[in-house]
């Protein structure tokens, strides 16, 4: 979950790119996209993420976003998981949160600025904002010393503040100094096991235990904003961090006291079987009149229309039991007192069984709310599965991946403005071989690292300017030399302004309440 350079080398044998491991637990094939939070993730075709990992297209909900950030409008933010829940809270002025973290392994650069901007924008929309330094992860997964971590952490925090994060309205913390976070990580660790981490992350016998511990700490980071109360929480990340998001969503569900499902009879069914029962019920009740639909009648219907022998057997065993739609509360982790409190809280017609309660009057949505309310009252967390949004990786200025280990490929937020200017002037472009061909065929802005600088950073909130640069490039009016000169000048101005603001934020950082020097040094 911690944002970091996406092209640093893998940290253990289990994440070696030559022998990829799919994050859904299966071996990755030649056409698969491998998402590795610590490895050399790139995404050649972002569309594959929609099919392979269930990431949804952000464009489909863009019209629902109030005052969308330019990264959203320009398609830089391309995907999401359940972001509508966050948008609904935002529109209704209800509690919601944003959190992301930064692994301090080098200088903050313009790629990290994407996440800084996403956190700050959500804070400006009224969300509770959290930004963390993933120092335990940096120490465990990258072998960084605490002195190195301290130096880099300060730089990340100063840039975040300089770009507009309000520490009085948000929370900054370090993993290593947050005992509440570590305690939550311990609780979450009881719901995960080595086989699962091996399947998701490719861990093997050479992976050290601290590295595995850093995973459950990150799960605690993602759920940390909900410790005061359950609320929609969005995690802005690059797609390489999606394995963390998916595991956190699973653990949030496993921590819940109760599971709420639809049901039709006293016995348990899976989603596919429930669909067959719904079909049988709707068909049979048309002829039932005032008489209830019986399980034995449904058994005959299912046997005649579908091949589902296990379901038929369950229905036959239930015999004359009425088949009726209901909402079921399953006891997942509840204490005896919490289960009794739930029984008491379910109003209207209900049936109490060992391990579950059936309600015949509640909707699924109302049942979910009631289950969470009782859980929180009884000392549980009531976690909502966290949401996420995903931004595209920036192309390196030299082409290929942007890497902090290749200075020419990226621009550090700490680079001297003249160095930033020179890097842009030396950057690879999407231009043609000659000026004549450029005028005739137009440039390839979609493949140009310099155009990305305009779209991701230099055009800021001015969509018209970003479009003008794009149209002039692909139309052959804009030549690469002039385009790079303009971009280099704008980059120099940005760095001058940003570094001036960083200096102004020195005092603000000292007052922000975050430990700047680790007690572990």
Q: Residue 397 pLDDT more than 80?
A: yes
pLDDT at residue number 430: 87
The lowest-confidence range among 19-23, 79-83, 386-390, 507-511 is 19-23
Question: Average pLDDT for residues 7-36, to the nearest whole number?
Answer: 34
Please report whether residue 10 resides in a domain.
no
Kindly state whether residues 207 and 72 are assigned to the same domain: yes
How many folded domains does the chain comprise? 3
pLDDT at residue number 403: 73
Kindly state whether residues 166 and 67 are assigned to the same domain: yes
**Structural domain boundaries, residue 494:** 407-510
Kindly state whether residues 201 and 275 are assigned to the same domain: no
% residues pLDDT > 90 (the chain): 77
Q: What is the dihedral of CA 403, 409, 412, 415, to 10 degrees?
A: 140
Confidence of residue 251 (pLDDT cuts 50, 70, 90): very high
pLDDT in tens, 474-506: 999 999 999 999 999 999 999 999 999 999 999
The lowest-confidence range among 13-17, 206-210, 260-264, 365-369 is 13-17
pLDDT at residue number 254: 96
pLDDT in tens, 111-127: 999 999 999 999 999 99
Kindly state whether residues 282 and 365 are assigned to the same domain: yes
Q: Global pTM?
A: 0.87
Q: Residue 325 pLDDT more than 60?
A: yes
Please report whether residue 105 resides in a domain.
yes
What is the overall mean pLDDT for the chain? 89
Angle between helices 271-288 and 309-318 (to 10 degrees): 50
Please report whether residue 237 resides in a domain.
yes
Tokens 């009881």 label which residue?
A: 190
Closest by Cα among 34, 167, 210 to 514: 167
Q: Which residues, at least 6 apart from 146, have a Cβ–Cβ distance to it below 8 Å?
A: 135, 139, 518, 520, 521
Question: Average pLDDT for residues 356-373, to the nearest whole number?
Answer: 97
% residues pLDDT > 70 (the chain): 91
Q: Residue 7 pLDDT more than 80?
A: no
Please report whether residue 30 resides in a domain.
no
Kindly state whether residues 206 and 76 are assigned to the same domain: yes
Kindly state whether residues 134 and 249 are assigned to the same domain: yes
pLDDT at residue number 303: 97
3-state SS string over 339-371?
Answer: HHHHHHHCCCCEEEECCEEEECCCCHHHHHHHH
pLDDT in tens, 223-246: 999 999 999 999 999 888 899 999
Q: Residue 417 pLDDT more than 60?
A: yes
Kindly state whether residues 213 and 267 are assigned to the same domain: no
- For residue 294, the cross-strand partners are 322
3-state SS string over 381-426?
Answer: CCCCCCEEEEECCCECCCCCECCCCCHHHCCECCCCHHHHHHHHHC
Q: Residue 22 pLDDT more than 70?
A: no
- Three-class SS of residue 261? strand
pLDDT at residue number 51: 74
Q: Is the model more confident about 15 or about 412?
A: 412
CA–CA dist 357, 373 (Å, integer): 16
pLDDT at residue number 16: 32
pLDDT in tens, 270-301: 999 999 999 999 999 988 888 999 999 999 99
pLDDT in tens, 141-157: 889 999 999 999 999 99
Kindly state whether residues 232 and 264 are assigned to the same domain: no
Tokens 């005092």 label which residue?
A: 507
Q: Residue 74 pLDDT more than 80?
A: yes
pLDDT at residue number 34: 45
pLDDT at residue number 14: 32
Kindly state whether residues 466 and 451 are assigned to the same domain: yes
Backbone dihedral region for residue 332 (phi beyond 0: left; psi -120 to 50: alpha; all else: beta)? alpha
pLDDT at residue number 26: 30
> What's the start-to-end Cα distance of the chain, in Å?
24
Q: Which residues, at least 6 apart from 495, have a Cβ–Cβ distance to it below 8 Å?
A: 411, 413, 415, 416, 417, 420
Kindly state whether residues 219 and 83 are assigned to the same domain: yes
Please report whether residue 4 resides in a domain.
no
Kindly state whether residues 241 and 271 are assigned to the same domain: no
pLDDT in tens, 427-443: 989 888 888 888 999 89
CA–CA dist 430, 419 (Å, integer): 22
pLDDT at residue number 372: 97
Q: Residue 24 pLDDT more than 50?
A: no
CATH number at residue 203: 3.40.50.620
Radius of gyration of the chain (CA): 27
Q: Residue 29 pLDDT more than 80?
A: no
Kindly state whether residues 219 and 170 are assigned to the same domain: yes
pLDDT at residue number 44: 59
Q: Residue 6 pLDDT more than 50?
A: no
Confidence of residue 414 (pLDDT cuts 50, 70, 90): very high
Please report whether residue 521 resides in a domain.
no
Please report whether residue 51 resides in a domain.
yes
pLDDT at residue number 347: 96
Q: Is the model more confident about 390 or about 53?
A: 390
The neighbour count for residue 289, using CB atoms within 10 Å, is: 7
Q: Residue 57 pLDDT more than 80?
A: yes
Please report whether residue 220 resides in a domain.
yes
Main-chain phi, psi angles of 432, to 5 degrees: -80, 175
């Amino acid at each position: 979950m911690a944002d970091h350079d996406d092209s640093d080398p893998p940290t253990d044998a289990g994440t070696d790119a030559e022998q990829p491991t799919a994050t859904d637990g299966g071996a990755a094939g030649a056409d698969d996209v491998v998402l590795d939070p610590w490895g050399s993730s790139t995404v050649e075709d972002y569309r594959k993420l929609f099919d392979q990992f269930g990431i949804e297209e952000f464009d489909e909900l863009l019209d629902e976003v109030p005052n969308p950030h330019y990264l959203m409008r320009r398609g830089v933010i391309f995907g999401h998981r359940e972001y509508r829940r966050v948008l609904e809270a935002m529109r209704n002025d209800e509690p919601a949160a944003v959190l992301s973290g930064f692994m301090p392994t080098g200088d903050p650069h313009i790629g990290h600025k994407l996440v800084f901007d996403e956190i700050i924008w959500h804070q400006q929309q009224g969300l509770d904002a959290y930004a963390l330094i993933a120092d335990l992860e940096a120490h465990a997964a990258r072998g960084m010393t605490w002195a190195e971590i301290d130096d880099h952490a300060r730089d990340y925090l100063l840039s975040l503040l300089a770009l507009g994060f309000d520490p009085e309205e948000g929370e900054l913390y370090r993993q290593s100094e947050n005992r509440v976070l570590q305690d939550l990580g311990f609780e979450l660790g009881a719901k995960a096991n080595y086989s699962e981490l091996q399947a998701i992350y490719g861990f093997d016998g050479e992976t050290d235990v601290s590295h595995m511990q850093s995973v459950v700490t990150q799960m605690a980071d993602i759920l940390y904003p909900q410790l005061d109360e359950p609320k929609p929480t969005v995690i802005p990340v690059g797609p390489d961090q999606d394995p963390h998001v998916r595991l956190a969503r699973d653990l949030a569900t496993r921590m819940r006291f109760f599971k709420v499902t639809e049901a039709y009879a006293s016995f348990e069914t899976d989603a596919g079987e429930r669909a067959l029962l719904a079909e049988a019920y709707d068909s049979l009740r048309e002829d039932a009149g005032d008489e209830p639909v019986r399980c034995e009648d449904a058994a005959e219907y299912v046997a005649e229309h579908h091949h589902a022998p296990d379901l038929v057997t369950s229905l036959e065993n239930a015999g004359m039991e009425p088949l009726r739609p209901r909402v079921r509360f399953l006891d997942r982790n509840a204490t005896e007192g919490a289960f009794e409190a739930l029984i008491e809280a379910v109003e209207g017609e209900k049936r109490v069984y060992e391990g579950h309660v059936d309600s015949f009057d509640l909707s699924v949505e109302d049942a979910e709310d009631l289950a969470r309310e009782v859980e929180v009252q009884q000392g549980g967390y009531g976690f909502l599965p966290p949401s996420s949004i995903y931004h595209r990786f920036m192309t390196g200025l030299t082409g290929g991946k942007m890497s902090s280990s290749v200075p020419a490929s990226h621009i550090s937020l700490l680079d001297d403005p003249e160095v930033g200017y020179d890097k842009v002037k030396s950057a690879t472009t999407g231009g043609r071989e000659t000026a004549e061909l450029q005028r005739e065929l137009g440039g390839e802005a979609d493949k140009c690292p310099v155009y990305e600088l305009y779209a991701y950073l230099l055009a800021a909130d001015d969509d018209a300017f970003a479009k003008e640069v794009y149209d002039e490039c692909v139309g052959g009016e804009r030549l690469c030399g002039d385009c790079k000169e303009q971009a280099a000048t704008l980059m120099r101005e940005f760095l001058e302004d940003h570094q001036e603001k960083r200096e102004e934020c020195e005092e603000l950082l000292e007052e922000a309440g975050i430990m700047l020097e680790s007690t572990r040094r």
